[in-house]
Protein backbone atom coordinates (compact mmCIF):
# COMPACT_ATOMS: atom_id res chain seq x y z
CA UNK A 1 0.00 0.00 0.00
CA UNK A 2 1.36 3.41 -0.98
CA UNK A 3 1.09 6.56 1.14
CA UNK A 4 -0.31 9.79 -0.20
CA UNK A 5 1.84 12.88 0.16
CA UNK A 6 -0.39 14.22 2.94
CA UNK A 7 0.55 11.21 5.07
CA UNK A 8 4.28 11.47 4.58
CA UNK A 9 5.02 14.18 7.18
CA UNK A 10 3.21 12.06 9.76
CA UNK A 11 5.16 8.94 8.78
CA UNK A 12 8.44 10.86 8.79
CA UNK A 13 7.86 12.04 12.35
CA UNK A 14 6.40 8.69 13.43
CA UNK A 15 9.35 6.74 12.05
CA UNK A 16 11.95 8.89 13.69
CA UNK A 17 10.01 9.50 16.88
CA UNK A 18 9.12 5.86 17.23
CA UNK A 19 12.52 5.90 17.22
CA UNK A 20 15.36 9.62 20.11
CA UNK A 21 18.01 15.49 29.18
CA UNK A 22 20.65 16.77 30.15
CA UNK A 23 18.59 19.74 31.24
CA UNK A 24 19.47 20.88 34.72
CA UNK A 25 22.80 19.04 34.65
CA UNK A 26 26.05 21.00 34.52
CA UNK A 27 27.85 20.32 31.27
CA UNK A 28 30.80 21.60 29.26
CA UNK A 29 31.90 21.39 25.66
CA UNK A 30 34.45 18.78 24.62
CA UNK A 31 37.79 19.97 23.34
CA UNK A 32 38.96 18.85 19.89
CA UNK A 33 41.09 16.06 21.38
CA UNK A 34 38.25 14.96 23.66
CA UNK A 35 35.87 14.86 20.68
CA UNK A 36 38.28 12.64 18.76
CA UNK A 37 38.67 10.26 21.70
CA UNK A 38 34.93 10.13 22.34
CA UNK A 39 34.01 9.48 18.69
CA UNK A 40 36.58 6.70 18.43
CA UNK A 41 35.10 5.02 21.51
CA UNK A 42 31.54 5.26 20.19
CA UNK A 43 32.52 4.01 16.72
CA UNK A 44 34.34 1.04 18.21
CA UNK A 45 31.22 0.16 20.20
CA UNK A 46 29.11 0.50 17.02
CA UNK A 47 31.42 -1.77 14.99
CA UNK A 48 31.17 -4.45 17.66
CA UNK A 49 27.37 -4.27 17.83
CA UNK A 50 25.57 -6.91 15.77
CA UNK A 51 22.24 -6.98 17.61
CA UNK A 52 20.43 -4.89 20.20
CA UNK A 53 17.32 -5.82 22.16
CA UNK A 54 16.12 -3.13 24.53
CA UNK A 55 13.04 -1.94 26.35
CA UNK A 56 12.26 1.75 25.93
CA UNK A 57 10.05 4.44 27.37
CA UNK A 58 8.86 7.23 25.10
CA UNK A 59 7.69 10.61 26.35
CA UNK A 60 5.97 12.93 23.90
CA UNK A 61 5.76 16.59 24.92
CA UNK A 62 3.18 18.71 23.11
CA UNK A 63 2.79 22.37 24.00
CA UNK A 64 -0.98 22.16 23.46
CA UNK A 65 -1.38 19.50 26.16
CA UNK A 66 -1.08 19.91 29.92
CA UNK A 67 0.48 16.46 30.40
CA UNK A 68 3.10 14.56 28.44
CA UNK A 69 2.11 11.38 26.58
CA UNK A 70 4.02 8.28 27.71
CA UNK A 71 4.31 4.87 26.08
CA UNK A 72 6.48 1.77 26.44
CA UNK A 73 7.84 -0.77 24.02
CA UNK A 74 10.71 -2.87 22.77
CA UNK A 75 13.44 -2.15 20.23
CA UNK A 76 15.03 -4.93 18.18
CA UNK A 77 18.02 -4.22 15.90
CA UNK A 78 20.03 -6.61 13.75
CA UNK A 79 22.99 -5.55 11.61
CA UNK A 80 23.27 -4.27 9.05
CA UNK A 81 19.86 -2.63 8.66
CA UNK A 82 16.95 -4.42 10.36
CA UNK A 83 15.07 -2.35 12.95
CA UNK A 84 11.79 -2.95 14.75
CA UNK A 85 10.12 -0.51 17.12
CA UNK A 86 7.27 -2.31 18.88
CA UNK A 87 4.93 -0.35 21.13
CA UNK A 88 3.28 -2.38 23.89
CA UNK A 89 1.65 0.23 26.18
CA UNK A 90 -0.80 1.88 26.15
CA UNK A 91 -1.47 0.64 22.59
CA UNK A 92 0.13 -2.02 20.44
CA UNK A 93 1.65 -0.96 17.12
CA UNK A 94 4.98 -1.25 15.36
CA UNK A 95 7.34 0.17 12.76
CA UNK A 96 9.79 -2.12 10.94
CA UNK A 97 12.65 -1.01 8.69
CA UNK A 98 13.49 -3.89 6.36
CA UNK A 99 14.86 -4.22 2.80
CA UNK A 100 14.46 -0.52 1.97
CA UNK A 101 10.90 -0.57 3.23
CA UNK A 102 9.10 0.88 6.23
CA UNK A 103 6.33 -1.43 7.43
CA UNK A 104 3.87 0.21 9.82
CA UNK A 105 1.20 -1.60 11.80
CA UNK A 106 -1.15 0.74 13.64
CA UNK A 107 -4.42 -0.38 15.27
CA UNK A 108 -4.50 -3.41 13.02
CA UNK A 109 -3.93 -1.39 9.84
CA UNK A 110 -0.78 -2.22 7.89
CA UNK A 111 0.95 0.18 5.52
CA UNK A 112 4.18 0.22 3.56
CA UNK A 113 6.60 2.91 2.38
CA UNK A 114 9.25 2.24 -0.28
CA UNK A 115 12.38 3.92 1.09
CA UNK A 116 14.57 3.15 -1.92
CA UNK A 117 12.79 5.63 -4.21
CA UNK A 118 12.89 8.57 -1.82
CA UNK A 119 16.15 10.26 -0.85
CA UNK A 120 14.68 11.81 2.29
CA UNK A 121 13.35 8.49 3.54
CA UNK A 122 16.64 6.76 2.74
CA UNK A 123 18.39 9.37 4.86
CA UNK A 124 15.82 8.80 7.59
CA UNK A 125 16.46 5.06 7.57
CA UNK A 126 20.20 5.64 7.82
CA UNK A 127 19.70 8.08 10.70
CA UNK A 128 17.62 5.61 12.65
CA UNK A 129 20.08 2.74 12.23
CA UNK A 130 23.14 4.82 13.03
CA UNK A 131 21.51 6.58 15.97
CA UNK A 132 20.63 3.23 17.51
CA UNK A 133 24.25 2.14 17.24
CA UNK A 134 25.54 5.60 18.11
CA UNK A 135 27.69 5.93 14.99
CA UNK A 136 26.44 8.99 13.13
CA UNK A 137 28.96 11.81 13.43
CA UNK A 138 28.52 13.08 9.86
CA UNK A 139 29.35 16.78 9.76
CA UNK A 140 28.37 16.92 6.07
CA UNK A 141 24.73 16.39 7.11
CA UNK A 142 24.69 18.02 10.55
CA UNK A 143 26.09 20.84 12.60
CA UNK A 144 27.41 18.98 15.65
CA UNK A 145 28.08 20.06 19.22
CA UNK A 146 29.66 17.80 21.87
CA UNK A 147 29.19 18.10 25.63
CA UNK A 148 30.16 16.14 28.74
CA UNK A 149 28.88 15.97 32.29
CA UNK A 150 29.42 13.81 35.34
CA UNK A 151 26.91 11.23 34.06
CA UNK A 152 27.92 10.93 30.41
CA UNK A 153 28.05 12.66 27.05
CA UNK A 154 25.57 14.61 24.95
CA UNK A 155 25.79 15.24 21.21
CA UNK A 156 23.50 17.75 19.54
CA UNK A 157 22.69 17.37 15.83
CA UNK A 158 21.19 20.16 13.71
CA UNK A 159 20.25 19.00 10.18
CA UNK A 160 21.63 20.94 7.24
CA UNK A 161 19.06 19.59 4.79
CA UNK A 162 16.24 22.16 4.36
CA UNK A 163 13.57 19.49 3.82
CA UNK A 164 14.50 17.67 7.00
CA UNK A 165 14.50 20.94 8.96
CA UNK A 166 10.77 21.22 8.24
CA UNK A 167 10.23 18.19 10.48
CA UNK A 168 13.29 18.05 12.74
CA UNK A 169 14.84 21.17 14.24
CA UNK A 170 17.49 19.13 16.05
CA UNK A 171 18.03 15.98 18.00
CA UNK A 172 20.23 14.92 20.88
CA UNK A 173 21.93 11.64 21.72
CA UNK A 174 22.93 10.93 25.29
CA UNK A 175 25.72 8.37 25.74
CA UNK A 176 26.83 6.28 28.68
CA UNK A 177 30.16 7.41 30.08
CA UNK A 178 31.25 3.82 30.76
CA UNK A 179 30.10 1.95 27.64
CA UNK A 180 29.62 4.68 24.99
CA UNK A 181 26.17 3.21 24.28
CA UNK A 182 23.18 5.39 23.45
CA UNK A 183 21.03 5.83 26.56
CA UNK A 184 18.58 8.50 25.41
CA UNK A 185 17.44 10.01 22.12
CA UNK A 186 15.58 13.30 21.95
CA UNK A 187 13.88 14.57 18.79
CA UNK A 188 13.01 18.29 18.82
CA UNK A 189 10.50 19.63 16.30
CA UNK A 190 10.54 23.17 14.86
CA UNK A 191 7.76 24.27 17.26
CA UNK A 192 9.81 23.00 20.26
CA UNK A 193 7.59 19.97 20.85
CA UNK A 194 9.79 16.97 21.45
CA UNK A 195 9.94 13.19 21.78
CA UNK A 196 12.30 11.65 24.34
CA UNK A 197 13.16 7.95 24.25
CA UNK A 198 15.02 6.33 27.13
CA UNK A 199 16.43 2.81 26.81
CA UNK A 200 16.38 0.24 29.62
CA UNK A 201 17.45 -3.41 29.97
CA UNK A 202 19.63 -3.19 26.88
CA UNK A 203 21.10 -6.50 25.65
CA UNK A 204 23.80 -6.49 22.99
CA UNK A 205 24.82 -9.28 20.59
CA UNK A 206 22.20 -11.77 21.73
CA UNK A 207 20.63 -14.07 19.16
CA UNK A 208 17.90 -12.37 17.11
CA UNK A 209 15.85 -14.30 14.55
CA UNK A 210 14.91 -12.86 11.13
CA UNK A 211 11.32 -13.71 12.07
CA UNK A 212 11.41 -10.88 14.61
CA UNK A 213 11.11 -8.45 11.70
CA UNK A 214 7.97 -9.89 10.14
CA UNK A 215 5.03 -7.48 10.07
pLDDT tens track of the chain, all 215 residues?
A: 444 444 444 455 555 554 443 344 467 999 999 999 999 999 888 889 999 999 999 999 999 999 999 999 999 999 988 999 999 999 999 999 988 888 999 878 888 888 877 777 777 777 778 777 777 788 888 899 999 987 899 999 998 988 888 888 998 999 998 888 899 999 999 999 999 999 999 999 999 999 999 87
Q: Map out the domains of the chain with their CATH numbers.
A: 5-208 (2.50.20.10)
Q: Nearest-CA neighbor of 150 among 10, 24, 9?
A: 24
Q: How many CA atoms lie within 13 A of 147 on its CB side?
A: 18
Residue 153: alpha-carbon gap to chain centroid? 16
Q: E strand or H helix at 133, and its extent? A: helix 119-133
pTM: 0.81
Find all residues with CB under 8 Å of 32, minimum gap 6, and list them: none
Amino acid sequence: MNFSMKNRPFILLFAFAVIFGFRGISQSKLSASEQKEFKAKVQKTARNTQTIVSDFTQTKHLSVLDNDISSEGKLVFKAPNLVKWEYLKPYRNSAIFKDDQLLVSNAGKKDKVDLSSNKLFRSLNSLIINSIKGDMFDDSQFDLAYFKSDVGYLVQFVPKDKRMKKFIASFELKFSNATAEVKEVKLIEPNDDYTLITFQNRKVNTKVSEAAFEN
